[in-house]
Amino acid sequence: MDFSHSLLYQQPMSDQSVNARPSKQVRHDELIAAAFSLFIERGFAATRLEDVAHLAGVAKGTVVVHFPTKEALFTAVVLEHVTPTVQRAEALRDAPGSPRERIVGLLRFIHGSLQDPHVGGIPKLIVSEVGNFPELARGFHEQVCDRSRCAMTDLINQGIAAGEFRVVDAALAARLVLDSLIMHAIWRHSLGRYEPEAVDSHAFLETHLDIFLRGIAAEV
Amino acid sequence: MDFSHSLLYQQPMSDQSVNARPSKQVRHDELIAAAFSLFIERGFAATRLEDVAHLAGVAKGTVVVHFPTKEALFTAVVLEHVTPTVQRAEALRDAPGSPRERIVGLLRFIHGSLQDPHVGGIPKLIVSEVGNFPELARGFHEQVCDRSRCAMTDLINQGIAAGEFRVVDAALAARLVLDSLIMHAIWRHSLGRYEPEAVDSHAFLETHLDIFLRGIAAEV
Amino acid sequence: MDFSHSLLYQQPMSDQSVNARPSKQVRHDELIAAAFSLFIERGFAATRLEDVAHLAGVAKGTVVVHFPTKEALFTAVVLEHVTPTVQRAEALRDAPGSPRERIVGLLRFIHGSLQDPHVGGIPKLIVSEVGNFPELARGFHEQVCDRSRCAMTDLINQGIAAGEFRVVDAALAARLVLDSLIMHAIWRHSLGRYEPEAVDSHAFLETHLDIFLRGIAAEV
Amino acid sequence: MDFSHSLLYQQPMSDQSVNARPSKQVRHDELIAAAFSLFIERGFAATRLEDVAHLAGVAKGTVVVHFPTKEALFTAVVLEHVTPTVQRAEALRDAPGSPRERIVGLLRFIHGSLQDPHVGGIPKLIVSEVGNFPELARGFHEQVCDRSRCAMTDLINQGIAAGEFRVVDAALAARLVLDSLIMHAIWRHSLGRYEPEAVDSHAFLETHLDIFLRGIAAEV
DNA sequence: TATGAATGAGTATTCATTCAT
DNA sequence: AATGAATGAATACTCATTCAT
C-alpha cells in the first residue's frame, strides 16, 4: 500500500461552464467527502453506498462508476485524508530551534491538524476498521505511525543528548505524548458526542505540553 | 441503562451430574464469552450470530433464547465486562495513603485490568460501535468514563490541596493520564497487531507514571 | 373427519381437592378456550403456541403434551365448538308447527347460537383457514353447511307445498336466508371491530325475518 | 390511508422494443397480480415473497425494490383491486331511473364485479387478515363498506319516500341485501371449493333480487 | 404430567454489485 | 458518464417441535 502520492489534486481542472456536468474529479471528491463523513459516523459496515450517493447528490450507480467496490472507496477515503498530513508532519522534525521548541511545534501542528474534521476522524476510522483491512492497516502503521513516532523519538533523544531533558525511554515517551493527542481526537468522534460540554482543545494541549515537558525536563 | 449490577457471578452453581444440560446461567456466560471474543475480533457488524453460537457450542436458535436481538447481546457483553471493574476502581480512590500513592494504585489497577483480555478489548469496541448504539453510549459515558475521571480528578485535587502537586487543571490532567492508558489498550487491539515487536506494557506504565507524576509534582 | 362426537364432556370429573393439579380434562378445556380466542383474533398462522400457553396460564411445553401439533390443536378447537351446535340445530327442523313457524324458530336458534362467542367466531375461523385444512373443510361442509341448508330447504319446500309460500328456488332461498346470518357473525369478528357503533343484532334478525318472509309469502 | 386514487392504469405505456426491460409500472402490476392470486389462494402468512417473485417471473430481491415490506405489498394489493370498483359503484346511485331500477342496477353491478376473480377474492382476504392490519381495516371500512352501504341506504330511503317501498329500517335492509352478495363471494373462495356442484351465480342474484324487492315492496 | 431450554428449518429483509437504458 | 431497476447471497429473527429435568 502506497501512501506516498495523493489521489487528490491530480488533474488541474477548468470547470468553467456553469451548467456543465461536474468533472470526474469533482464527482470523485464529492463522493470521497460524503463517504468519509458516513464512514466516521457509522463505521464501514453500517454505511450503505446508497447513503453515500444520496449525500453526494448522485444516484447509486454513480458511486460504482467511480469506485469499483465498497472497499476501494474506503481505501481511497483513508489514503486521501492521510497522505497530505503525513508529508507535512515530517518536515517539522528538521525545522530549526531547540529540541524542546521543535517538540512544541510538532505537537502543536499535529494537534492542530487533528482539529481539522478532514483529519481528526481518521484515527477513529483506522482503529475501528483496521481488523478487516489488514493491508491498509500495515500501510498506515508503517507510513504514519512509525514515521510520526520516529520523528518524536528523535527529538526527545536530541533533547536528552543536549542535556535539556533527563534520561527517559525516548520511544515510550514519544508514544505517550502522541497517544494523548490521538486519543483526544478519537474521543471527539466517539463517546465525546455524549459529553454534556465539549472539552476545550486549546487548554487540553497546553496542559498536556506543560505536564509532559516538565515531566521530562532535566533536573535543576 | 443500568450498569449498577453485574449479571455475572450471581448464582454459584453445583452442576454435578456429568451429562446434565448446563444451567441457563452457564449458557449465558458461555455465550457472552463467545460473543465478546468475536465482537472484539471482527466488530459488531462482521460478527454473525451463527458464529457466536458455534463458538459457544450451541445451535443458532439458542442464542436468540438468551438474547432477543443481536444488539441486546452486544449490550450485555459490554455491561458484564465493564461493571465489576468500575466498581473496584472507585473503591481505590477512597483507600488509605497519600494522594500520590492512591493515584499510583489506581493507575496500576486500571492498567492491570486493561491487560486482562476480558477488559482490554472493551475500549476499542466502544469507540468503534458507539455511534450505532446511542443508548449504550450514554450509559457507558456516565457510568464508566465519568466515574473513573471523577475519581482521578478528586485525587489530583487532594494532592494539590495537600501541597504535594502544583496547581494544574485537575480535570484535564485526569483526562490526560487516563487517556494514555486507554489509548494503549485500544492500540493493542487495533494497529498494535501490525507492530513488529509488542510494547512492554510494564515499562510503558512505569514511564507514564514517572513522567506524569514528575510533571505535576510541586516545585521544590 | 368425524364431527359426530364431542371431545368435550367425555369424562365426568371429580376434581374435589382444592390445591390439586387441574385434571387433564380441565387443562384440555382451558387450552381449547385460549386457542379458540387467539385463532379467531389473529388467524392460525399468526397465533403462537407460546401465546396460547400463556393465555391458558401454563408453560409452552404443556400445550404439546395435550396436542401433538399445532394443527391438531386447531382441529380440536373447531370440532369442539361446532359439534354440539349442529346436533341441536337439526332437531328443530322436525319440531311441531307450521313451516313458517319452524323457519322462524330455526333462524332464531341459529342467530342466537351465533351470538354466543363460543360459536359465533367459528364461521370466520373456517372461512379464513379452510384453504390450508382441506380435510377439516370437507368435514365442516358436509356435516354443518349441508345439513343446515337441507333443513332450511326442507322447511321452505314444505311451506310451498302447503301454499304458505310462493314458488321459489328453495335451495337458493335457504342459502340466502342463512348467508345473511353467517355473514353477520363473520362481520362481528372481522371488520365489525372497526365500526363506530355496533349493529343491533336483535333488530337485524327481525328485519331479516320480516323482509325474507314477506318476500317468499304467497300472493294474496 | 388514502383509497382515493388507483395506482393502476396510470401511465399508458409504449414498451415497443422486444427485449426491453419492462417499465417499472409494468413490473409493479405484474407483482400485484402475482401477489394477489397467492394471497387469495393461501392467505397472507402462507404466501412467501419468493413465490410471489417466482410467479411474477422476477428474482426475490425485485419484490423488495417495489414494495419495502410484505405488509406494504398486501396493502397495495387490496387497495388497487378495490378502489376502482367502489368509485364506479357510487356513480350508479346517482344514475337516472326509479329507486327500484337503480337498486337493481347497483346490485347487478356489485354482483358482477364480485364475479371478477380480481375483485371477488377481496372480501375473503379482508375477513381473514384484517385482524392483523388495523390500519388497512379502518381504511377499508371507511372507504369501501361505509360508502357502499350509504349508497344502498340512500336508494332504499328514496324508494320509501316515493311510496315504492314500505317503511323498513333502510340501513339494516341495505346491510342485509349487500351481505348476501358478499357472503356469496366469500363462500366461493372458501368452503365453496368443497361443494360438489357450483352454485349458479346468475340464478342466485335473480332469486335474491326477487325475494328482497318483494320483501320491501309497498303493500298493494 | 409439567416445565422451559434447545433446536434448526423457514423466511423477510438488507444491500453490494451488475447491467440495460 | 450517469442512472436506477434487477439481482441474489447473506443473515437476523421466528417459532413449532423435541427432550432432559
DSSP A17-46: -SSSPPPHHHHHHHHHHHHHHHHHHH-STT
Instruction: Check D172 against C204: CB less than 8 A apart.
Output: yes
pLDDT digits (tens, 9 = 90+) for D125-170: 999 999 999 989 998 998 888 899 999 999 999 999 999 999 999 9
Query: What's chain D's average pLDDT?
Result: 88
In our burial notation (b when 16+ CB lie closer than 10 A, e otherwise), range A57-76 reads ebeeebbeebbeebeebbbb
pLDDT for position B7? 41
Instruction: Check A176 against B211: CB less than 8 A apart.
Output: yes
pLDDT for position D15? 42
Contacts of A114 (CB under 8 A, 6+ apart): A120, A123, A181, A182, A184, A185
pLDDT for position B10? 42
A–B CB contacts, 8 A cutoff, strictly below: 151
pLDDT along chain A (220 residues), means of 10: 47 47 81 96 96 96 96 93 73 82 93 88 92 88 87 95 97 95 93 89 96 93
> Stated in angstroms, how far is D56 CA from E13 C1'?
19
Residues of D in contact with C213 (CB under 8 A): 215
| Alpha-carbon gap, residue A102 to D8, rounded angstroms | 73
Instruction: Check C140 against D191: CB less than 8 A apart.
Output: yes
Best residue in A103, A166, A167, A190 for a mutation probing chain B (most B CBs within 10 Å): A190
pLDDT for position D66? 97
> Which of D124, D175, D195 comes nearest C141 by C-beta?
D195
pLDDT band at B2 (very low <50, low <70, confident <90, very high): low
Q: Angle D201-216/C201-216 helices, nearest 10 degrees? A: 100
Nucleotides of E under 7 A from a protein CB: 1-21
> Distance of alpha carbon D133 from its chain centroid, rounded?
17
> Distance of alpha carbon D112 from its chain centroid, rounded?
10
pLDDT for position C11? 42
Q: Reply yes or no on whether the pLDDT at B14 is more than 90.
A: no
Residues 8-47 (D) near nucleic chain E, CB < 7 A: 17, 19-21, 47
Name the least confident of B95-109, C111-125, D47-61, D167-181.
C111-125
Residue B154, burial from CB neighbour count under 10 angstroms (0-12, 13-18, 19+) = middle
Q: Reply yes or no on whether the pLDDT at D88 is more than 90.
A: no
From the CB of residue A2, how many other CB atoms can be counted at a distance below 10 Å? 8
D54 touches strand E (CB under 7 A): no
pLDDT for position A21? 60
Best residue in D40, D42, D186 for a mutation probing chain C (most C CBs within 10 Å): D186
pLDDT for position C20? 55
> Which of A132, A140, A210 comes nearest B46 by C-beta?
A132
Please, what are the domains in chain D? 15-76 (1.10.10.60), 82-216 (1.10.357.10)
DSSP chain C: ---SS-STT-S------SSSPPPHHHHHHHHHHHHHHHHHHH-STT--HHHHHHHHTS-HHHHHHH-SSHHHHHHHHHHHHHHHHHHHHHHHHTSSS-HHHHHHHHHHHHHHHHHSHHHHTHHHHHHHHGGG-HHHHHHHIIIIIIHHHHHHHHHHHHHHHTTSB----HHHHHHHHHHHHHHHHHHHTTGGGG-SS---HHHHHHHHHHHHHHHHBPP-
pLDDT for position A3? 59
Q: Scanning every residue of chain B, which has its alpha carbon at the shortest distance from the alpha carbon of A186?
A: B127
* B99-116 mean pLDDT: 94
pLDDT for position A29? 93
Q: Scanning every residue of chain C, which has its alpha carbon at the shortest distance from the alpha carbon of D202?
A: C172
pLDDT band at B13 (very low <50, low <70, confident <90, very high): very low
User: Which stretches of chain C score pLDDT less than 70?
Assistant: 1-22, 89-92
B138 touches strand F (CB under 7 A): no
Q: Percentage of residues in chain B with pLDDT exceeding 70?
A: 90
pLDDT digits (tens, 9 = 90+) for B143-198: 889 999 999 999 999 999 999 999 999 999 999 999 999 999 999 999 998 888 88
Residues of A in contact with B191 (CB under 8 A): 126-127, 130, 137, 140-141, 145
| Alpha-carbon gap, residue A110 to A100, rounded angstroms | 15
- CA distance to partner chain B, nearest, from residue A192 (Å): 9
pLDDT for position C147? 85
Instruction: Check B137 against A214: CB less than 8 A apart.
Output: no
Instruction: Check A203 against B169: CB less than 8 A apart.
Output: yes
What is the pTM (predicted TM-score) of this model? 0.87
